[in-house]
Amino acid sequence: MTEEVRTEFHQLMEEVRADLVQMGGMVAEGVSAVTAALLAGDIASADQIITADDELDLLSLEAEEKCVQLLALQQPVAVDLRAILTDLRMISEIERSGDLVTNIAKAVVRLLGAELVPRVRGLLDRMREQAVRLTAMAMDAYADRDAGLAAVLDEIDDVLDDLHGQYLDAVFASQNAGHIDTQQAVQLAVVGRFYERIGDHAVNIAQRVEFLVTGQLPEHIGANRARARREQDEM
Amino acid sequence: MIAALVAVATALAVALVAVLVLVRARTSAAERLGRVVHRFAGESDEPRPGEARLDHNSLDEWISYLESIATTVAMTVNLAERDRARWQLAMNELAVGVVLVDEDGTACASNALADEMMSARDAMALVGAGVTQLLESAREGQARSRTVKLTGPPPRVIEIGAHPVASDSHALGAVAVMADRTEGVRVDDVRRDFVANLSHELRTPVGAIALLSETLAEEDDAAVRARLVDRIGTEAERVRHIIDDLLELSRVELEGSMRQEEVAVVPLLGEVAQQYSEHARKHDVSLVRPGPDDASAQIVLQADRGQLLRAVGNLVDNAIKYSDPGSQVRLTVSPSADGEQAPACVDIVVADDGIGIPADETERVFERFYRVDKARARATGGTGLGLSIVRHVVMNHGGEVTLHTREGVGTTFTLRFPVSGSAVSGSTVSGSAVSTDRAST
């Protein structure tokens, strides 16, 4: 690559990186906004959040196009290739988190009029806090190429998983106490699952960052085992 | 012979040419040097006649001139660096974030606040992305601005704007400014809501009294009349409460804490517990407070006793109201050590396991007449002024009130009062001996 082409290449990669950080910000804000809408039963806000997801979809398509352009025109190798592959996988992870925010927004409408007891409200707020935190940390690890931070994210996600468990107990306790009907309880349980999934996507992003920095994925350990078994069978 | 002569002549000619070429080369180098020197001196490129000759005197002159130029350049660079550092530090003092980019869009200057906002990876990343976009269009000559609202909690409102930077219509880049408007928006909300809430709180009972008395005038049934009279009494009581609290609040605001005296905190907590024991019994809530044997029993504050009683009382009143039957409200006092020195503060804590306060309301509960849950607040009979009074009392004593809460888990209010070193004795608190006013029926 000539010097000029290289600069252009890195500038485009930098743009993709900025796009991804922006998308992460949109998810973090989306989770906060949709939780506020859910707790306040605010349908107008929920509608706005559903519309705002189009923006995220557009941005992810644009970022994807940039990645394809980089792959097709510059034929990157080694670290650069890994970086673009990471970006491509990350785009879909963040985009999925955005869809989950939209799913929660749709549930706001279905849950209108449901009485959320303080314990359920408190746990929703704590799940919001953890989901936002995990997303921001994953984006931090990505933007700073911080494999160490990425490695601890999985453990931090346990907090959210634990809250999710407590939340389900609280929802069904509230149903048993007659505050909400079965349909509402199921809807609330599904909402809890969405928060938990947003955390999982953040962990996936962190794993991609680890791959980017170290060239290793957690799946590699399992894959190596499978490969060893296959070789043994052949012998 | 002739051949030899020719050879010698040729050799001479070649040598002469070589010398001429060498001299010429040195002369042209000297000429270039002369031109450079003149350029540094800010004079014309053309050497003055006779100066460009290879001449030892002028060479020495030029060298010493170049040396002086090197010194001047070093000084100028140093001054420029200091100037830049000064601008950077001054920019860091600004209450707004500033980013300056050149005509290619490369950032050439930014202040600390901007760096912080631009490097955020949570929802604040939207501010960074917005700034990048606005700078892009500002570089093309179009000034734009935008407001970014973040839900939080805590909610943030950031106003961003970008302007082209040009000198005589020659584009030099663009500048972006990001300003945190959160406080301004909040103050506007408070002002708007205060007037609405005040008129609502006063009008409702007064309107009810008017309506009830009208009905009363036309009613003959003794039982109904008795009920109406009872309702009028309740509503009148409500107005009286609001007026009392308003007066109390304005007194606390105006007076400050004039009557400072030594207040033993643990007995004061006992007094509050006594005062609200009936209230607690009604809600089946137990009040837990340190007993006279507790290590914290020695803690003494310089304070206005009446105000302190009122502040802690208001918190206990709230805690009982918003607690589930069978739960506890805990009163504690402890010195909060500031480093290894004598404790700098005393914390009075009122904690409950009640319904808690929604995260996005915690900033606003100290406002006058602010209600988290309008319907419930009326049912519990508060005036909406209790926490405003608490905040003012603590402010009068130079302290601060903090609030930790989670819906469905509970709420903890901490009143932190600064103390002079001698005012606190018994700085070790074990928190073991507590007496419980179990108020179950």
Bridge-based pairing of strands B328-336 and B286-290 is: parallel
Instruction: For residues A71 and B63, give the distance between their C-alpha atoms in angstroms, rounded to a whole number.
Output: 56
**Mean of the pLDDT values across residues B354-370?**
81
Tokens of A127: 């799940």
Tokens of B39: 């350029």
Tokens of B242: 């609001």
Tokens of B50: 């006779």
Which residues in chain A have their CB less than 8 angstroms from residue B132's CB? 18
Own/partner contacts of B111-118, CB < 8 Å, gap of 24 or more, are B113/B178, B114/B176, B114/B178, B117/B158, B117/B178
The pLDDT of residue B398: 83
Touching check for A198 and chain B: CB below 8 Å? no
Q: ∠ CA B371-B375-B379 to the nearest 5 degrees? A: 100
Q: Which of B288, B285, B279 is nearest to B327 (CA)?
A: B285
Which residues in chain A have their CB less than 8 angstroms from residue B117's CB? none
Bridge-based pairing of strands B96-102 and B410-418 is: unpaired
The pLDDT of residue B202: 81
Residue B129 and residue A117: Cβ atoms within 8 Å?
no
Tokens of A72: 């097709």
Which residues in chain A have their CB less than 8 angstroms from residue B129's CB? 18, 21-22, 25
DSSP B282-319: HTT-EEEEE-TTSGGGG-EEEE-HHHHHHHHHHHHHHH
DSSP B135-180: HHHHHTT--EEEEEEE--SSPEEEEEEEEEEEETTEEEEEEEEEEE
Confidence of residue B429 (pLDDT cuts 50, 70, 90): very low
Nearest to A25 among B125, B355, B360 (CB): B125
The pLDDT of residue B432: 37
Instruction: For residues B1 and B301, give the distance between their C-alpha atoms in angstroms, rounded to a whole number.
Output: 126
Please say whether the structural domain B258-437 has been given the CATH code 3.30.43.10.
no
The pLDDT of residue B354: 85
Q: How much is the pTM?
A: 0.70
State the smallest CA–CA distance between residue B375 and chain A in angstroms.
Answer: 14
Instruction: For residues B287 and B351, give the distance between their C-alpha atoms in angstroms, rounded to a whole number.
Output: 10
Q: How is residue B411 annotated by DSSP? A: E
Burial level of B173, CB count in 10 A (0-12/13-18/19+)?
A: buried
Instruction: For residues B199 and A158, give the distance between their C-alpha atoms in angstroms, rounded to a whole number.
Output: 49
* pLDDT of residue B333 exceeding 50: yes
Instruction: For residues A118 and B407, give the distance between their C-alpha atoms in angstroms, rounded to a whole number.
Output: 5
The percentage of residues in chain B with a pLDDT greater than 70, rounded to a whole number, is 85
* pLDDT of residue B267 exceeding 90: no
| Third-level CATH fold of A3-234 | Methane Monooxygenase Hydroxylase; Chain G, domain 1 (1.20.58)
Tokens of B286: 């137990």
Touching check for A140 and chain B: CB below 8 Å? yes
Burial level of A224, CB count in 10 A (0-12/13-18/19+)?
A: exposed
The pLDDT of residue B435: 42
Q: What is the pLDDT of residues B406-421, one digit of tens each?
A: 888 888 999 988 876 4
Q: What is the pLDDT of residues A5-40, one digit of tens each?
A: 667 788 888 889 989 999 999 999 999 999 999 988
Instruction: For residues B313 and B382, give the distance between their C-alpha atoms in angstroms, rounded to a whole number.
Output: 13
- Which residue type, as a one-letter code, is found at position A96? R
**Mean of the pLDDT values across residues B255-276?**
82
Q: What is the pLDDT of residues B187-229, one digit of tens each?
A: 888 888 788 877 887 888 888 889 888 888 888 888 888 888 8
**Radius of gyration of chain A from Cα atoms?**
21
The pLDDT of residue A4: 65
Bridge partner residues of A174 (DSSP): none
Domains of chain A, residue spans: 3-234
Cα B293 to the chain's mean position, in Å?
42
The pLDDT of residue B243: 86
Domains of chain B, residue spans: 2-87, 95-180, 184-255, 258-437
The percentage of residues in chain A with a pLDDT greater than 70, rounded to a whole number, is 97
- SS3 call for A55: helix
User: B interface toward A at CB cutoff 8 Å?
Assistant: 120-126, 128-129, 132, 150-153, 354-356, 358-360, 406-409
Residue A93, CA atoms < 13 Å, CB-side half-sphere: 25
Q: What is the pLDDT of residues B71-109, one digit of tens each?
A: 988 999 999 999 999 998 998 898 899 998 888 888 888
Inter-chain CB pairs, A–B, below 8 Å: 76
Under-70 pLDDT residues of chain A: 1-6, 235
Cα B208 to the chain's mean position, in Å?
43
**Mean of the pLDDT values across residues B46-58?**
54
The pLDDT of residue B436: 43
Dihedral angle sign, alpha carbons of residues B389, B394, B396, B400: negative
* pLDDT of residue B15 exceeding 60: yes
Instruction: For residues B21 and B35, give the distance between their C-alpha atoms in angstroms, rounded to a whole number.
Output: 21
Residue A28 and residue B123: Cβ atoms within 8 Å?
yes
The pLDDT of residue A161: 92
Q: What was the ipTM of the complex prediction?
A: 0.76
The CATH homologous superfamily to which domain B95-180 belongs is PAS domain (3.30.450.20)
* pLDDT of residue B424 exceeding 60: no
* pLDDT of residue B323 exceeding 90: no
Instruction: For residues B167 and B180, give the distance between their C-alpha atoms in angstroms, rounded to a whole number.
Output: 29
Contact at 8 Å (CB) between B128 and B118? yes
Confidence of residue B57 (pLDDT cuts 50, 70, 90): low
**Mean of the pLDDT values across residues B285-302?**
83
Contact at 8 Å (CB) between B178 and B117? yes
The pLDDT of residue A196: 93
- Sheet of strand B400-406: strand arrangement: B400-406, B410-418, B345-352, B328-336, B286-290, B434-437
The pLDDT of residue A120: 87
The pLDDT of residue B440: 37
Name the residue in chain A with its Cα closest to that of B130: A22
The pLDDT of residue A34: 94
Residue B150 and residue A29: Cβ atoms within 8 Å?
yes
State the smallest CA–CA distance between residue A223 and chain B in angstroms.
Answer: 33
Instruction: For residues B362 and B412, give the distance between their C-alpha atoms in angstroms, rounded to a whole number.
Output: 12
Interface test with B, best of A55, A119, A142, A145 (most B CBs within 10 A): A119
**What mean pLDDT value characterizes chain B?**
80
The CATH class that applies to domain B184-255 reads: mainly alpha
Instruction: For residues A28 and A139, give the distance between their C-alpha atoms in angstroms, rounded to a whole number.
Output: 10
State the smallest CA–CA distance between residue B300 and chain A in angstroms.
Answer: 37
